[in-house]
Structure 1
Amino acid sequence: MPSPTHDALRTPAWTPPAGNTKPPLSSRMMRAAWRGLPARRYDVGWEPGLVVPAPDGSPLITDHYFPRAAGDFPTLLVRSPYGRGVPWSPMYGLLFAEQGFHVILQSCRGTGGSGGRFGLWRNEAADGRATVSWLREQPWFDGTLGTIGASYLGYVQWALAMDPPPELKAMVVQVGLHDPHAFFHANGALNLENALVSGVGMAYQHQGLAPMVKATLRLQRRLREITTARPLRGAQASVVGDVPWLDDAMTHADADDPHWLGTSMGQAAERLDVPTGLITGWHDALLDQTLEQYGRLRRAGCDTALLVGPWTHTSAFQRGWPEVFAESLAWLRAHLCDDPSGLRPTRVRVHTGGDESWRDLDDWPSSPAVTSWFPAPDGQLLQQAPTDAEPLASFRYDPADPTPSVGGPLLSRGAGPRDNGALEAREDVLTFTGPPLTEPVDVLGPVSARLSVSTDTGYADVFARLCDVDAQGRSTNVCDGLVRLRTTGQAPTRVTVPMSSTAHRFAAGHRIRWQISGGAHPRYARNPGTGASPVDATEFLPVRITVHADSELTLPRGAAGTVKDRGQPRS
């Protein structure tokens, strides 16, 4: 409901000013190229360059998109460090305004012309609240507010939700994060490639398309040079420039380090009562954070919905955009416009790889049941538990020639499902493969590996991956994970490797494969093998990793859901 205080002050039935500016040409051109979107309801007006004062007086430059029609419309707040142009202007400003929303698209402080210094993670809550205070003074604001946005634009929503204003009635967090440390570091290892790509985006995208494209191409050309530098610390400066926050994020590996104090917004979901729609992809770099958000919201009793498509972090806004937009629009109309007609009947919808169907589920994960698979001699993967814990297979990981990364949840090109044949032919990669399946096997939920391993140096990473091997022998990655470990002596160490989550059908005739290696570079910074920090190491020591027979791959057994449709995924 609109706040009583605001209703008393607001000018009723605000009428758009005459002669207002059309949205940018680049936005209108992109809008014309999209297919599969709902018909436009209103022409759109644009007020660029509005100034919103931050708490310290810094000007936050803001663009206002609105329906060119008299009457009351709810407002969407979008705050971005990536500028206010393409793609945010057409995706949020233009598309949602033509569906009947005021849209406020604002550059975070220190970016896109806004004043002050960009302090990653540090100012978003206060600056968001200041923007809501400014909204209350606008004659067109009817007191009903929603937020929407992707990636860091999701983080700023969680920051506002830590102390949500009374006007906030709905949120849509698309491939968004709430925990910066977990984005940069995974189980002790640095997410190197994604850190570098995010650094380029933060440093250049708000400067415009040309600088961003040049910086991205420069990173692609020099990625190997940067990621193999000894030491790694500071090597990115030749491409990204002097970006202190990036160096700090890469070098503070411990989640308990004071550097990360107050940066996680995860607690917001534990007490939130604002209806929140969540959207991610099975190969999104922030999939695990989105699923964690969903779990927290459910435990808090908050109205929430989850959509997981066959997407990477970026393809959700390319080929997946019709589904993402439809889901977002339906959620916002239901909770801001009292129009639930577009909502789906179940809380969760997931795309299932393998049979390329969409399934409606009551919850996620849908079933606690699991099946176990065990490695066996000659590279077999069996459902019979071993009778001993003897060494089964070993390989030598050399950080000077690190095992490369192939596909998976990357921000860069090459993300998603890929042919793993060349990777699995390497001597530093083990594979254990099940027999051809006599009937389909559905895997829906979190996948994990409980490994029994020993090393000859005490320092190693273990990378575990689930793959689908088709009838022609092509091995395609489904989900994976990595853990950095420290072993003692020659005795095996038990370690659990979280391998993220999936919804996947292994078809009859296909085989389940468990892939194990000592790293995935440059997705993860290589383990130097000496116990030194990976960002400061200059000396490398190869390690022999031995997998023991009492290791176990745990797959969540799929529960029946409603299959909505089939066809090629938008990936």
Structure 2
Amino acid sequence: MTPHTHDVVPRSGWVAPSGKPPLASRMMRATWRGLPAKQHDVGWEPGLVVPAADGSPLRTDHYFPRTKGDFPTLLVRSPYGRGVPWSPLYGILFAEQGFHVVLQSCRGTGGSGGRFDLWRNEAADGQAAVSWLREQPWFTGTLGTIGPSYLGYVQWALALDPPPELKAMVVQVGLDDPHALFYEGGALLLENALAVGAGMTYQHRGLMPFVRSTLRLQRRLREITGARPLRGAYESALGEVPWLDEVMTHPDADDPYWHGASMAAAAEQAAVPTSVITGWHDVLADQNLRQFARLRRAGGESSLLVGPWTHTSALQQGWPEVFSESLAWLRAHLCGDRTGLRPTPVRVHVGGEDVWRDLDDWPPAPATTAWFPAENGTLSRQDPVESGPLASFRHDPADPAPSVGGPLLSRSAGPRDNSAREAREDVLTFTGPPLTEPVDILGPVSARLRISTDTGHADVFARLCDVDPENRSTNLCDGLVRLRTTGQAPSEVTVAMKATAHRFAAGHRIRLQVSAGAHPRYARNPGTGEPSAEATRFLPVHLTLHSGSALMLPQETP
């Protein structure tokens, strides 16, 4: 199709403005490769004012195809500003493909009025945005939503009570439960909480303020995460962030502070066809897989794409796949063109094999296979006959085992060599023999551990690694549980280690890694029973792993 460059005059009589998208956005757009060819030139209508539910002015930009005709609309609501990268990623790219794109700054961000809140306003403000759309002469009544991270949260908030115009959603590495973003197994996800604090506070102010805050945080990360007490230490890098202080001092999901935060109920309806996109090393992968499971139970049309990505690389290295998947879903449900849809609802990337696999559902429910740690540091399919302690170690909160890779909001996220971490005396490893044939695992991984402590307060971190013939140990998935033991008898705890799809090649070995934490990914357990954010005193703890423990793998049979 040859794009038209003149002003658009659709049947409504609306005359499109002549503005072009901002230069920085057009420059970034020019750098992308591997994307579908554009179908339309793009116009830009910046700085519109849309009233929020309480009347606060929400700054809004409108991108549109400069071609005669009617086009569906995408609503993108963001607390991170409306410039780079959101303008080219959503405004330009999707307008090029034949969509009106409305990019709006949430309350208290990006020039919008009112006060930003992590969750209390998004449902009402989303409905207010739709009410405004109904009054626009170019709005056809066909609406979709799209976006990553918090831009996914605002989609779920709108879907709690979906307006009749909402025909499709694309949730890319998207949030639905703020508490689960900040806490796992009872422990504060410290490094990610600080990164979210920087993003929410500075990104909407522009690129340079955000970059400067991120660099300050990186320079002072050791000082901040090692502070006693932890509460308030972030102010040296981020300034006062009242909501972050509240998050750090309300660890319990049942606390009234978190009432109304979760949007999980939105996926329990079958009202809006929804595409869920995530990565195996994304900080929100667990939430995304639960979203898809709820959508499937509700019986609505849904799809799942899981790539070899982190939270940020899904929108960078993974963008060609993510964009194509998103575009196909929106065309199917907003334009009636289903030719780009996959034949199966699920597509996952299988690590180790480096292939994509199409599935009818997730998880595919292979048989769960137990691998048992033994006293000599081995991992075997045979349940040890002997009972008793397998190994012990001393954990000192003042010198914690460091975090290496995994689901982080930093450049160090994803698969990493764990050899240095595993060389520490406070990290246990149990390793299987070299495999004589490949082993495929697809689904959730867990560790059933029998643990005793001498103080009663400890965290247990379990990680699955792939050890290659050169003895490089690479993390696949992991999890942590904060436990309280009584007496010297072992307590049984199940550590949910998230899900993965991976092939252990012949000659590789399966490894279970066990420690008492991964700092600064998780806030340190002080060992005293005090809240992590308030503790000023640390108490070392001895942990003992007992026989009867097992690594549970969703192992496919040949």
The answer to whether the 8 Å contact 1:309/1:351 transfers is yes
Residue 325 (structure 2) aligned to one of 321, 324, 327: 327
Secondary structure (helix, strand or coil) at the match of 1:181 reads helix
Corresponding residue for 1:279? Answer: 277
Q: Within 5 Å, give how 1:438-453 maps onto structure 2.
A: 438-453=436-451
Secondary structure (helix, strand or coil) at the match of 1:299 reads helix
Q: TM-score, normalised by structure 1?
A: 0.95
Deviation of residue 119 (structure 1)?
1.4
Residues 67-87 of structure 1: per-residue CA shift (max 9 Å, x gap): 001111000000000000000
Question: Share of identical aligned residues, percent?
Answer: 76
1:211 corresponds to which letter in structure 2?
P
Report the Cα distance in structure 2 between the residues aligned to 1:22 and 1:452, rounded to whole angstroms. 63
Report the Cα distance in structure 2 between the residues aligned to 1:98 and 1:15, rounded to whole angstroms. 22
Report the Cα distance in structure 2 between the residues aligned to 1:558 and 1:84, rounded to whole angstroms. 45
Corresponding residue for 1:53? Answer: 51
Q: Within 5 Å, give how 1:171-320 maps onto structure 2.
A: 171-320=169-318
Is 1:78 aligned to 2:76, yes or no? yes
Q: Within 5 Å, give how 1:338-417 maps onto structure 2.
A: 338-417=336-415
Report the Cα distance in structure 1 between the residues aligned to 2:386 and 2:180, rounded to whole angstroms. 36
The answer to whether the 8 Å contact 2:292/2:304 transfers is yes
Deviation of residue 272 (structure 1)?
3.2
Report the Cα distance in structure 1 between the residues aligned to 2:151 and 2:238, rounded to whole angstroms. 21
1:28 corresponds to which letter in structure 2?
R
Q: Which moved more, 1:202-211 or 1:361-370?
A: 361-370
The answer to whether the 8 Å contact 2:465/2:511 transfers is yes
Report the Cα distance in structure 2 between the residues aligned to 1:280 and 1:19, rounded to whole angstroms. 36
Deviation of residue 241 (structure 1)?
1.2
The answer to whether the 8 Å contact 1:79/1:156 transfers is yes
1:414 corresponds to which letter in structure 2?
S
Deviation of residue 55 (structure 1)?
1.7
Report the Cα distance in structure 1 between the residues aligned to 2:289 and 2:247, rounded to whole angstroms. 23
Is 1:107 aligned to 2:89, yes or no? no
Corresponding residue for 1:567? Answer: none
2:112 corresponds to which letter in structure 1?
S
Secondary structure (helix, strand or coil) at the match of 1:259 reads helix
Q: Within 5 Å, give how 1:532-551 maps onto structure 2.
A: 532-551=530-549
Corresponding residue for 2:39? Answer: 41
Deviation of residue 271 (structure 1)?
1.4
Report the Cα distance in structure 1 between the residues aligned to 2:81 and 2:411, rounded to whole angstroms. 22
Report the Cα distance in structure 2 between the residues aligned to 1:182 and 1:522, rounded to whole angstroms. 17
Residue 154 (structure 1) aligned to one of 152, 155, 167: 152
**Given the superposition, is the C-alpha separation of residues 18 and 383 from structure 1 closer, same or farther in structure 2, using an over 3 Å criterion?**
closer
Residues 88-111 of structure 1: per-residue CA shift (max 9 Å, x gap): 000000000000000000000000
**Given the superposition, is the C-alpha separation of residues 105 and 19 from structure 1 closer, same or farther in structure 2, using an over 3 Å criterion?**
closer
Deviation of residue 369 (structure 1)?
1.1
Residue 430 (structure 1) aligned to one of 428, 437, 440: 428
Report the Cα distance in structure 2 between the residues aligned to 1:12 and 1:91, rounded to whole angstroms. 26
Corresponding residue for 1:495? Answer: 493
The answer to whether the 8 Å contact 2:451/2:492 transfers is yes
Secondary structure (helix, strand or coil) at the match of 2:339 reads helix
Q: TM-score, normalised by structure 2?
A: 0.97
Residues 165-213 of structure 1: per-residue CA shift (max 9 Å, x gap): 0000000000001000011011100000000000000000000000000
Is 1:13 aligned to 2:5, yes or no? no
2:300 corresponds to which letter in structure 1?
C
What stretches of structure 1 of length at least 5 have no aligned partner? Answer: 1-10, 561-571
Q: Which moved more, 1:242-251 or 1:380-389?
A: 380-389
Q: How many residues align?
A: 550
Deviation of residue 57 (structure 1)?
1.0
Report the Cα distance in structure 2 between the residues aligned to 1:499 and 1:156, rounded to whole angstroms. 28
Report the Cα distance in structure 1 between the residues aligned to 2:263 and 2:242, rounded to whole angstroms. 22
After the TM superposition, list the runs of 4 or more consecutive aligned residues in structure 1 that deviate by more than 6 angstroms.
none
1:320 corresponds to which letter in structure 2?
G
Is 1:552 aligned to 2:558, yes or no? no
Residue 117 (structure 2) aligned to one of 116, 119, 131: 119
Report the Cα distance in structure 2 between the residues aligned to 1:526 and 1:552, rounded to whole angstroms. 25
Q: Which moved more, 1:179-188 or 1:385-394?
A: 385-394
Deviation of residue 16 (structure 1)?
6.0
Report the Cα distance in structure 2 between the residues aligned to 1:317 and 1:190, rounded to whole angstroms. 26
Corresponding residue for 1:26? Answer: 24
Is 1:132 aligned to 2:130, yes or no? yes
Secondary structure (helix, strand or coil) at the match of 1:13 reads coil
The answer to whether the 8 Å contact 1:283/1:409 transfers is yes
Deviation of residue 118 (structure 1)?
0.6
The answer to whether the 8 Å contact 2:270/2:301 transfers is no
Secondary structure (helix, strand or coil) at the match of 2:519 reads coil
Residues 206-235 of structure 1: per-residue CA shift (max 9 Å, x gap): 000000000001100000100000000111
What stretches of structure 2 of length at least 5 have no aligned partner? Answer: 1-8
Residues 116-144 of structure 1: per-residue CA shift (max 9 Å, x gap): 01111110000000000000000000000
Report the Cα distance in structure 2 between the residues aligned to 1:15 and 1:251, rounded to whole angstroms. 55
The answer to whether the 8 Å contact 1:373/1:553 transfers is yes
Secondary structure (helix, strand or coil) at the match of 2:506 reads coil
Secondary structure (helix, strand or coil) at the match of 1:90 reads helix
Deviation of residue 250 (structure 1)?
1.4
**Given the superposition, is the C-alpha separation of residues 71 and 14 from structure 1 closer, same or farther in structure 2, using an over 3 Å criterion?**
farther
**Given the superposition, is the C-alpha separation of residues 330 and 177 from structure 1 closer, same or farther in structure 2, using an over 3 Å criterion?**
same
Residues 396-429 of structure 1: per-residue CA shift (max 9 Å, x gap): 0000001100000000120000000000000000
Indicate the RMSD between aligned Cα atoms, in angstroms.
1.1
1:333 corresponds to which letter in structure 2?
R
The answer to whether the 8 Å contact 2:377/2:431 transfers is yes
Report the Cα distance in structure 2 between the residues aligned to 1:450 and 1:509, rounded to whole angstroms. 26
Deviation of residue 386 (structure 1)?
2.0
Report the Cα distance in structure 1 between the residues aligned to 2:136 and 2:298, rounded to whole angstroms. 33
Corresponding residue for 1:475? Answer: 473
1:173 corresponds to which letter in structure 2?
V
Corresponding residue for 1:520? Answer: 518
Deviation of residue 558 (structure 1)?
2.9
Report the Cα distance in structure 1 between the residues aligned to 2:331 and 2:71, rounded to whole angstroms. 11
Report the Cα distance in structure 2 between the residues aligned to 1:176 and 1:558, rounded to whole angstroms. 29
